[in-house]
Amino acid sequence: MTEYDCQETKRHVHEYLQQELTEQELTDITSHLAGCDSCEEEYDFEVLFTKVIQRSCTDVPPQELADQILSKIRQTLEEGH
């Protein structure tokens, strides 16, 4: 079990929200959030921020833009970068 201090908790709050951590990390951060008002405020802000982004980003990019991005990714991979 890792002890999550405020710095570590705040550093991982996005991954926590996205469920991108191990079960143990999720449990440890949940425990820290339950006892730390400062980190809980940071968490609440991130939740709100994530919701605003999700509501605002419902537009689908034009196919031309998607094609350009994929082309650039393929080019970069082929060049070995």
Please state, for a pLDDT cut of 70, what percent of the chain lies above it.
Answer: 96
| pLDDT score for 1 | 53
13-17-23 Cα angle (round to 5): 90
pLDDT of 25 = 94
Q: What is the pLDDT of residues 55-67, one digit of tens each?
A: 888 777 789 998 9
Second-level CATH architecture of 6-79 = Orthogonal Bundle (1.10)
Which portions of the chain are predicted below pLDDT 50?
none
Q: What is the pLDDT of residue 20?
A: 92
Instruction: Give me the residue spans of the domains in the chain.
Output: 6-79
- Quote the pLDDT of residue 37: 93
Q: In degrees to the nearest 10, what's the CA dihedral of 30, 34, 35, 39?
A: 70
